[in-house]
Amino acid sequence: MLRVAIIGLGPIGNVHARHYKEHPDCDLVGLCDIIPERADEASKRFGAPAFYDAAQMLRDLNPDICGVCTGGHEYGGDHYAPTMQALEAGCHVLGEKPISNEIDKAEAMVRLARERGLCYGINLNHRFTKLTRIARQWVDAGRLGHLLFINMSMWIKNPRETSPWFQLKALHPHTIDVMRHFCGDIAATQCFVTSAPGRKIWSTAHFNFKFACGAVGGLTGSYDIERGHPMERCEVAGTGGRFVLEDMMHELTWHPAGTNEKTIISNAPFGDIPEKTFDDTFRNRIRCFVDQVAAGASPETIDGSGADALAAQRVIAAAITSVEEDSVVEIPVPNGAL
Ligand SMILES: NC(=O)c1ccc[n+]([C@@H]2O[C@H](COP(=O)([O-])OP(=O)(O)OC[C@H]3O[C@@H](n4cnc5c(N)ncnc54)[C@H](O)[C@@H]3O)[C@@H](O)[C@H]2O)c1
């Protein structure tokens, strides 16, 4: 049994807690929030003791895994301190995205996990669907031939106006991670931004990318469109053919080059469990981390790692520089290196 504690019990921390609670190999042993009512409510809901101070909880419980589900400025400003505390305490950590919008802090978190030999994952849940797995296997097996281009888009309505770059920083850790998952490191970017009438932030953006492998790509994202269904689309093409992933979990279509035939795979189960909702991506992601830790996986093999999340943040930081300077910005490759 792996003993799991969670820091940060907002809506997302509660989702993590539920999935750990339901995991047959996990024992949810502690729930911490600096807002006592949040910790107490979660304690009642999940039947684990409440704490109001992370250091205290880590000392008292010495958990194997610590979930860091804090939020903060630009939805990631509070992750650094509890992540460092949990790593110092010897826990494997699964944190929420973005790893941190401050690149030096993200680097310090990844570095400490490496120094301590601990597994450090981020909830890059959009890559944890069965269809994304199948698509990635096609890429790895060379089915697409020479990779040429990737087009990605994601759109939801998010009315928060907290900082001019909130949309880029809070939405695109996911999309950029999926693009890197299929096409590898991003070597350069150029970004353009706009907003819906009445908005004060850059709530819609388009990024051009040059990948280290030579492929090119485009990413469009928006916090201005009410989410019906779907909300996300990814198309990857090579000389051997092209696939389109609708909503990451709902439909994967393979278009082989040179024929008018296509193969459609719909809503496949992840392992033995059907995927029906976005919530399933959280379960899949948490299961994968727990399974890797339980199997004694070496930290550098963690799927959706802190280094992957750091790489995505470096791309976002470069895109912001591109807007500010109206330029194409090169990104050091490999993006996840320290
Ligand atoms: N992966 C996804 O699909 C997805 C979706 C939505 C949000 N998120 C991410 O999830 C995170 C949390 O989102 P939320 O809406 O639950 O945020 P929230 O702000 O409602 O909750 C965060 C909680 O953390 C607590 N906290 C902050 N610092 C703490 C500390 N040092 N010790 C203990 N508690 C502390 C706060 O008091 C708060 O209750 C964000 O980083 C967000 O970007 C991820």
CA dist 239 and 257 (Å) reads: 7
CA dist 325 and 327 (Å) reads: 5
Give residue 252's Cα distance to chain centre.
20
Amino acid identity at 168: L
In testing the pocket of ligand 1, which one of 78, 80, 100 has its CB within 8 Å of the most ligand atoms?
Answer: 78
Query: To which CATH superfamily is domain 2-96 assigned?
Result: NAD(P)-binding Rossmann-like Domain (3.40.50.720)
30 lines ligand 1 (CB under 6 A): no
pLDDT at residue 229, as a whole number: 65
77 lines ligand 1 (CB under 6 A): no
Which residue, 273, 324, 305, is CA-closest to 113?
Answer: 305
pLDDT at residue 274, as a whole number: 58
CA dist 313 and 10 (Å) reads: 23
User: What letter would DSSP give residue 75?
Assistant: G
H or E element in which residue 4 lies: strand 2-7
Q: What is the pTM of this model?
A: 0.95
Identical fold at 2-96 and 127-295+304-330?
no
Q: Of all atoms in ligand 1, which is nearest to the CA of residue 81?
A: 31
pLDDT at residue 227, as a whole number: 73
* CATH class of the structural domain 127-295+304-330: alpha beta
246 lines ligand 1 (CB under 6 A): no
pLDDT at residue 202, as a whole number: 97
Question: By the 8 A CB rule, do 206 and 191 touch?
Answer: yes
35 lines ligand 1 (CB under 6 A): yes
* Domain boundaries of the chain, sorted by first residue: 2-96, 127-295+304-330
One-letter-per-residue 3-state SS of 206-256 = EEEEEECCCCEEEEEEECECCCCCCCEEEEEEECCEEEEEECCCCEEEEEE
pLDDT at residue 338, as a whole number: 79
Tell how strand 26-32 and strand 50-51 pair up.
Answer: parallel
Q: Which residues contact 228 (CB under 8 A, 6 or more apart)?
A: none
Q: Whose CA is nearest to atom 11 of ligand 1?
A: 71
184 lines ligand 1 (CB under 6 A): no
Segments of the chain scoring below 70 in pLDDT: 228-229, 268-276
pLDDT at residue 278, as a whole number: 80
Q: Which two tokens stand for residue 267?
A: 């809503």
